[in-house]
Amino acid sequence: MNSKRYKILSLLCLSMVLIASCIKKPLDQKPTGSYTTATYWRNQSDVLAGIAGIYNILYTEDWVGHAIYTYDDQSDDIYVAGDHPDFKSVGNLNADPTLQVIYYTWPFAYEQIERANNAIIYIPKVPVMDQAIRDRSLGEAYFLRAHAYFILSQLYGEVPLITENNVLTGAYNVPKSTVAQVQALVESDLLKAVSLLPETYDAADNGRVSKGAAEGLLAKLYLFEDNFQNAIKYGTAVTLDPNYALSPNYTDNFTPGPQQTNSTELLFAVWNENQEISGAPYSPMAIYFSPRPWNGWGFHHPTENFVDEFEKGDPRKSATVLAVGDSIPYQTTLVPISPNDAVQMFTGRAGQSTGRMLPSMSTTGYYIKKYTAFMPSGDGNLNTDLKQPLLRSAEVYLIVAEAKIRQSGAGAGDAEINAVRLRAGLSPIAGAGMPQLIHEKRVELGGENVRWQDLLRWDKDKLVNLDTIVGKPKTASPLAPYNGAVIIPARKFQRPKNYYVPIPQEIIDESKGVIKQNPNY
């Protein structure tokens, strides 16, 4: 593998004091010069800026800011729209090693890893700094390295492990490690993060990962390993800690402003800010998910099958899904209303030709609402202060519930499932088994890039049958002009091939064959 993929830190992160991706004003600084590892990591200011540089990768369009959601388009929840044929190939279970989107994830994940590696190497060597900040910063580096490796192992399976020793020796072109070896490093990093990170931060450091974030991701890792006892142990550490309580309202997690900023539920998020106000960067997530008629690009559209999963009266449906005829606060763009739109939107209001409601420009008739908000000024611009949740306490509640059900049987996870249901205003259930857990997770976390990876592990454990799930066509809204049209015909799931996407061909070529392709590609 070409070592340039992993050595960009000294060119990017260490060439400037980067703007923080997850942090507020204390880390908003301008470039101050050119640095190498020999002249950097001198003091506490360098450490804070270096950690900010790791978070900064989370803003990247072709990493968690957009491209990574393409993999969830393989599920039954989402149809990938837009004009990228490589995205559609992935969604149709026809990924191949030459696709751009298959490549994108790799270098940005390893860039996050390399920046974390440098922090892990050099922070202990900084001669004088506050010990609490030293510990915290190391914990952040371990967490963010674990996060990148966890995603790589989910998507590609076996991947090369690049750690501190590789950086120090320059040995970057190494073969793939097994999934178990990658998961072992993720576990080790997260356990270190748990021991180093504080439970909470003050407002000035809002958005940094906490001990609860590490415990939550650790619980998720253990669930993927079918290690139910440890999934319960570390998940319960989150669910029983009031510092990570569920937000009073489901919509608080997706509403810009104090509701989201003060949320105890956002364990790990991209802490966006309005660029025009703060000068800070923001994730392009809002652009890619927001409807095209409303100044977005509208790539990921919910299917009718997903919309039908919501129970009658579940308020999470209106918080998650935008349908033709909906409007949201501060959306001021006037858009043409077709006769078909008028049927749905303006019954009894003949003659309306333009409006601020959503017209029928979606392929399915729906958009994901969670990542769409507009500036309260009424200027029509998307509100890029909207934070992007990557791990919420609600997911950890459902991780614990699943682990308890699979360890002890139906009903064992009722308390955790009902905590999530009651927050949504729904009646509690009793004796919940895996079907109820699967339903609850689908509607609670819809559009949050969770469904496909869950389906894959459940299929491996024979809890669901992906032949049946992908064998059903994806359909659009039953209302005009969609009329329940089939937008993706029945697909075929190939085991074990489709459990992972292929290793990018460019990476294999750069490694001169040291890295081998995944089976059946």
How much is the pLDDT for 282? 79
The reported pLDDT for the residue numbered 82 is 80
Encoded tokens for 438:
């699967």
pLDDT score recorded for residue 38: 65
Three-state DSSP at 300 gives: strand
Annotated domain spans of the chain: 1-197, 285-383
H, E, C per residue of 18-41: CCCCCCCHHHCCCCCCCCCCCCCC
DSSP labels, 353-374: -EESS--S-SSSSEEE-TT--B
Report the b/e string of 277-315 with b at 16+ CB within 10 A: ebebbbbbbbbbbbbbbbbbbbbbbbbbbbbebbeeebe
Do residues 329 and 252 make contact, with C-beta atoms less than 8 angstroms apart?
no
What is the reported pTM?
Answer: 0.91
Contact 487, 306 (CB under 8 A): no
Query: Would you state the pLDDT for residue 279?
Result: 64
Which stretches in the chain have pLDDT values below 50?
A: 1-32, 348-350
Q: Where are the alpha helices (DSSP H) in 262-413?
A: 275-278, 285-289, 304-307, 316-320, 339-345, 393-408
The vertex-118 CA angle with 112 and 120, nearest 5°, equals 100
CA distances from 437 to 444, 458, 463 (A): 10, 12, 12
Q: What is the pLDDT of residue 214?
A: 98
Q: Alpha-carbon distance 201 to 192, whole Å?
A: 18
- How far is the C-alpha of 212 from the C-alpha of 186, rounded, in Å? 16
pLDDT per residue as tens digits for the range 306-356: 999 999 999 999 999 999 888 899 999 888 878 777 777 655 444 556 678
CA distances from 520 to 95, 262, 393 (A): 11, 47, 37
pLDDT value, residue 228:
98
In this structure, which amino acid lies at residue 476?
A: A
pLDDT in tens, 360-386: 889 999 999 999 999 999 888 999 899
User: What pLDDT sits at residue 20?
Assistant: 33
Give the pLDDT of residue 449: 97
**Residues 182 and 159: beta-carbon distance below 8 Å:** yes
Digit-coded pLDDT (tens) for 501-518: 999 999 999 999 999 999
Half-sphere CA count of 443, side-chain side, radius 13 A: 25
Q: In whole angstroms, what is the distance from residue 445 CA to residue 451 CA?
A: 8
Beta-bridge mates of residue 391: 268
CATH 1.25.40.390 corresponds to the domain 1-197: yes
What single letter denotes the amino acid at residue 15? S
Residue 39 has a pLDDT of 76
Residue 301 phi/psi, 5-degree rounding, is: -110, 130
Q: Which residue has the tokens 């997690």?
A: 253
| Residue 283: per-residue pLDDT | 82
Return d(Cα 318, Cα 313) in angstroms, integer: 10
Amino acid identity of residue 107, one-letter, is P
Contact 219, 238 (CB under 8 A): yes
Do residues 90 and 96 touch, judged by C-beta distance below 8 A?
no
